Amino acid sequence: MNTLYPMPAEPLTPTAYQRALGLPRLLAGIRAHGALSLEDHVAIHGPLPASGGRGRRRARERASMLVEQIERSGLLGHGGAAFPTATKMRAVAGARGRAIVVVNAAEGEPASRKDRTLLETLPHLVLDGGILAAEAVGADEVIVCACESADIGIESVTRAIEERAAAGSERSPSLHVATVPANYVAGQESALVSYLNGGLAKPTFTPPMPFEQGVRRRPTLINNAETVAHVALIARHGASWFRQLGPPSQPGSMLVTLSGPLAHPGVYEIEHGSSLSSLIQAAGGTTTRVRGALVGGYAGAWVDGDLLSGVALSNEHLVAHGASLGAGVVLLLSEHACPAAETGRLARWLASQSTRQCGPCVHGLDALAMTVQEIAGGIAQAGAGQRIERLASLTARRGACGHPDGAVKLILSALETFEAEFADHAQHGPCDSCARPPEMPMPHRAVSQDASRGARR
Amino acid sequence: MNHRARVNPIACEAHGMCAELLPERITLDEWGYPIIDGAPLENRQVEHAIRAARACPTFALLVERDRAPAPARARRGERRS
């Protein structure tokens, strides 16, 4: 059952569960199909708060008030790293030169649908957030980066920008859309900057960090699309409103892409810290027994199926499971799937997504994938476990980006969580489930040199 | 001010010169890429490290002085008026 790619973005109307919690926030007024028009958007959320009028001094005052407000809200980035948004904004605002804002909806994470869902259904909320972020850091330009495979999202946000131009918006930053390659690593910050500068969509060696020298060598604020959507609401309703939901360490709500053997897989808005069980219930429950949940996406970690009822969706809690929310991905593996075969394929896929720039990533992920596949196939040599440990330590933290680290984390987590299954495969070879079609999505797009060269804008 | 050796993993092509010239701090993995002890270099090692960096055919080895913490840097670059 490969429900994931493409996944139905079906259950977006708020459930009774969500309404009871003061949710949805981001997804308020959302329709099953199509984008909210500017008119509808303003009817639901109200107009964009005033920019503070003309004049540099007023603009600067307004900007620092906005950053303070975001700091008080405790908003953390929703792209995966959960970095404090206000800290990032301060660094960009303090850097020399006119800043530029990149709204990151590249969403290379195969099991994530939240960013394209935002572009498809709520383009004006994302644009509001992009404009506010630009005002917060003194930028005159906002570039919304969407994955090339997200046609509907690209169309929707392009139309939304035209809609604003037609309505004669007075807000200053210019708004653009850029499409980026559908590679796993293309949304990484330095890869995005490289691509927008006309280079390859591959990570670069830092420093300089994007906040110092990014797009067109200007200080560049790169925020995930969901992060700026939250900014659009914080600017309207305030920091304390934002903190009414979620634990103090991770306030607010979040979008989760929930997939697997469920009645209604899809994108849900939940309160940080709510239980995984309640989310599964909101999705109509599971249709089979669940072997495990992958939390945080392909740089995340597995939680054993028997432990799922105790899981709360906040980083504070997930630390105990060795996991984090990442970009809000929860993927359930059905009892029909073979975790060893799935992990073998996934390890191979993760190796294929290396941009092949750093030796340890190229060789390490390849060797890891081979060893995992040998174990899953029952043909591994003695000491394969030690070989994995050694390869893991030789691979993690030795690349220019975090890809090898995330891949290693996921592979180790799978070997630990599904230890019994791997031991069984090592001894007896492939099981009956090994030949089943994959449950975990692994889109194939070659990381080609020429195809991923960005156009200079 | 502490000096540390660091490799640019994108530029590195596993020539292995660095491990020859700074074996106290650099070993090679099974593919020939350097594993660098990232702790501050001892004073007498700095010169050797710089020599190793100059000898690297792809200039992938860096000897860096510890940078000031980020907020201080941000402040220095504050926009004028």
How much of chain A exceeds pLDDT 70, in percent?
92
Residue A8: is its pLDDT beyond 80? Answer: no
- Mean pLDDT confidence for A30-57: 86
pLDDT interval class at B75 (50, 70, 90): very low
CB distance A301 to A411 below 8 Å = no
In Å, what is the CA distance from A188 to each residue of A101, A402, B7?
A: 15, 9, 20
H or E segment and range at residue A141: strand A139-147
Per-residue confidence (pLDDT) for residue A53, from 0 to 100: 63
Per-residue confidence (pLDDT) for residue A5, from 0 to 100: 35
Q: Which residues contact B48 (CB under 8 A, 6 or more apart)?
A: B21, B22, B24
- Mean pLDDT confidence for A417-435: 97
Per-residue confidence (pLDDT) for residue B77, from 0 to 100: 39
Mean pLDDT, all residues of chain A:
92
Q: Do B9 and A205 touch (CB under 8 A)?
A: yes
Per-residue confidence (pLDDT) for residue A13, from 0 to 100: 57
* Chain center to CA of A32: 22
Residue A188: is its pLDDT beyond 90? Answer: yes
Instruction: Note the pTM of the prediction, 2 decimals.
Output: 0.91
Residue A457: is its pLDDT beyond 60? Answer: no
- Closest residue in chain B to residue A90, using alpha carbons only: B74
ipTM surpasses 0.90: no
B81, exposed or middle or buried, with CB in 10 Å at 0-12, 13-18, 19+? exposed
CA distance A41 to A124: 7
Contacts of A212 in chain B (CB under 8 A): 73, 77
pLDDT in tens, B17-63: 999 999 999 999 999 999 999 899 999 999 999 999 999 999 999 99
Check if A398 contacts B (Cβ < 8 Å): yes
Quickly list H helices, A138-288. Answer: 151-166, 189-196, 225-237, 239-243, 276-282
Residue A321: is its pLDDT beyond 50? Answer: yes
Per-residue confidence (pLDDT) for residue A453, from 0 to 100: 58
Per-residue confidence (pLDDT) for residue A452, from 0 to 100: 52
| Candidates A90, A360, A400; nearest CB to B74 | A90
How much of chain A exceeds pLDDT 90, in percent?
86
Per-residue confidence (pLDDT) for residue A320, from 0 to 100: 93
| Candidates A95, A204, A359; nearest CB to B31 | A359
Nearest Cα residue to A274 out of A239, A245, A301:
A245
Residue A300: is its pLDDT beyond 50? Answer: yes
pLDDT interval class at A436 (50, 70, 90): very high
pLDDT in tens, A159-185: 999 999 998 877 779 999 999 999 999
Contacts of A394 in chain B (CB under 8 A): 29-30, 35
- Closest residue in chain B to residue A57, using alpha carbons only: B81
Contacts of A400 in chain B (CB under 8 A): 8-10
The dihedrals phi and psi of B44, each to the nearest 5 degrees, come to -75, -15
SS3 A180: strand
